[in-house]
């Protein structure tokens, strides 16, 4: 039981490049989330998926797209990376909305130059 | 915008002392949670307190909630060096149908 896994752990991109951050959970959770964490800003929600087949914008969705590929996997895509997207990205999952407790992956540290 | 705000931003104590962190929030909540983040790691859920609860305990953790003041506190008793981490409060709004909103965190340093 690996919990929530994220790939890659580290990534350096040049401005304008694209990439997809992968997230998978093996806990059969319905809801999945993508956050970014910047120094002094706490965690900010980018997108979330309350259940398979649905996605919704969070607080800071601009510049990102997501895909809930199946119940296990939720990917985050940067179509044209910008230096402002330099951050640490965390994926999380939750069993159901009623349970509220979230389980986090180890994070992806992304640098855009 | 951040719903919860932790106070203080940073806290340094000696091993064995108690650590208290506070969280204030702006709008009515369904529940409030506390998470810990060790350096370079993901967040780990510590404890959840519902809006109709006033106090909750889990091991060395004690959480209080005052909905009239829109505030919560996390007390870690008999702190250890391993408690060194950032601590975040997170709220679910009263509709219950919203994602967690995190505060900016308190950085706790426990000196051996």
How confident is residue A40, by pLDDT bands cut at 50, 70 and 90? confident
How far is the alpha carbon of B43 from chain A, nearest alpha carbon, in Å? 6
Query: Using the beta-carbon criterion (under 8 Å), do A101 and B31 form an inter-chain contact?
Result: no
Q: Residue A106 has which token pair?
A: 């180890």
Q: Under an 8 A CB cutoff, do A105 and B42 touch?
A: yes
Beta strands (DSSP E) in A3-105 are 4-7, 10-13, 19-25, 31-38, 42-49, 56-57, 64-68, 74-78, 87-94, 103-104
Cα distances from B37 to residues A25, A43, A109, B42, B104, in angstroms, run 19, 11, 15, 6, 12
Q: What is the pLDDT of residue A97?
A: 59
Q: Is the pLDDT of residue A102 over 90?
A: yes
Of A42, A97, A103, Cβ closest to residue B103: A42
Token code pair at residue A63:
């510049």
Which pLDDT score, from 0 to 100, does residue A91 have?
98
pLDDT, one tens digit per residue, over B36-60 is: 999 989 999 999 999 999 999 999 9
Contact at CB, B43 and A92, closer than 8 angstroms: yes
Question: How far from chain centre, in Å, is Cα A22?
Answer: 8
CB B65 within 8 A of CB B51: yes
């Amino acid at each position: 039981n690996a919990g929530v896994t994220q790939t890659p752990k580290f990534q350096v991109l040049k401005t304008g490049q694209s990439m997809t951050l992968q997230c998978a959970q093996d806990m059969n959770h319905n809801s999945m989330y993508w956050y970014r964490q910047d120094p002094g800003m706490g965690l900010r929600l980018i997108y979330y998926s309350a259940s398979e087949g649905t996605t919704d914008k969070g607080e800071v969705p601009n510049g990102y797209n997501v895909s809930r590929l199946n119940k296990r996997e939720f990917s985050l895509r940067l179509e044209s990376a910008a230096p402002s997207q330099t951050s640490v990205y965390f994926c999380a999952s939750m069993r159901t909305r009623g349970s509220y407790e979230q389980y986090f992956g180890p994070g992806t540290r992304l640098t855009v130059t | 915008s951040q719903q919860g705000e932790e106070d203080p931003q940073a806290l340094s104590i000696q091993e064995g002392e108690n650590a208290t962190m506070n969280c204030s929030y702006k709008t009515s909540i369904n529940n409030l949670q506390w998470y810990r983040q060790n350096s370079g790691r993901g967040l780990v859920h510590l404890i959840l307190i519902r809006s109709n609860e006033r106090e909750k305990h889990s091991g060395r953790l004690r959480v209080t909630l005052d909905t009239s003041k829109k505030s919560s506190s996390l007390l870690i008793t008999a702190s250890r060096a391993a408690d060194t981490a950032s601590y975040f409060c997170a709220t679910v709004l009263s509709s219950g149908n919203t994602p967690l909103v995190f505060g900016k965190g308190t950085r706790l340093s426990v000196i051996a």
